[in-house]
Chains A and B, each alone.
Chain A
Amino acid sequence: AQSVTQPDIHITVSEGASLELRCNYSYGATPYLFWYVQSPGQGLQLLLKYFSGDTLVQGIKGFEAEFKRSQSSFNLRKPSVHWSDAAEYFCAVGAGANFGNEKLTFGTGTRLTIIP
C-alpha cells in the first residue's frame, strides 16, 4: 500500500522568504501526486498535481513542485511567501491507474507560519 511522509510538522518562515515543504511517498510504480492547502475554517484546496511528463509542475498562488523519482519526493516550493500563505499543507498520493481505486492517501500535514 502507498504511504506519504511529511517530515516537518511545523515550519516558520519570514514573509518574502523562500519556502520548501518536503513530501516523500512510498509506492512501487509512478504515483499520482498532489498538494492541497487548508486554511483555517476552510476546506482543502488543490494547489497542484503531478500525473506524468514534466517533473516540475506549476500550481496556483505561485507554488510549484518537483517530482524526483530517485528520491521518491514531491517537494513544494515558493520563491517568496506572503502572509496569506499561512495554512496547513497536505501532500497526497493516488495509486490506482484504473477507475474504482481513486482514493487518496494523505500525509499528516505541515503547518506553515509566516512572520513579518
Chain B
Amino acid sequence: GAGVSQSPSNKVTEKGKDVELRCDPISGHTALYWYRQRLGQGLEFLIYFQGNSAPDKSGLPSDRFSAERTGESVSTLTIQRTQQEDSAVYLCASSLGRQGSILSSYEQYFGPGTRLTVT
C-alpha cells in the first residue's frame, strides 16, 4: 500500500517568508508526528497528533511554528517568518495510534521528508 508522502520534497525560501509543508499519512493511521532533522543531528520531535485529541505541541521550538491536522488525514506544518536556523529536513511519520496496541502505536512509518533551505 501507499506509504507516508510529503510535499514538497525540497523548498528554498528567503528569510522572513512563511512556508507550508504537507504530510499525507498512511490510510487508517490515526497518529501523526512531525520531526526535524538538522544537518549532522538526530531527529528532534516537534508535534504529535492522535485522532481528535489535543495535539502534543511540546517540541515546537517557537511560536513561529504551528501545525494542523483535519481529522485523521493530511497535516500541514507552517513556519512563519522563516530564519536560517530553520533550515533542516522535516520528517513526518504516522502510526496506528490507538487503533492498535501501545506497541503498534510506537511503530512509526516515516515519509521521505521535506528539505527546507532558508537563504
Contact = CB atoms under 8 A, between A and B. Distances in A.
A39 B93 CA distance: 16
Interface string B75-102: 0000000000000000101010110001
Contacts of A97: 102
Interface of A: 4, 6, 32, 34, 36, 41-46, 49, 51, 90, 92, 94, 96-109
B105 to A, nearest CB: 5
Contacts, number: 72
A98 B103 CA distance: 10
A92 B56 CA distance: 19
B113 A102 contact: no
B113 to A, nearest CB: 6
Interface in B43-91: 43-45, 48, 50, 53, 56, 59, 91
Nearest to B98: A99
Nearest to A46: B107
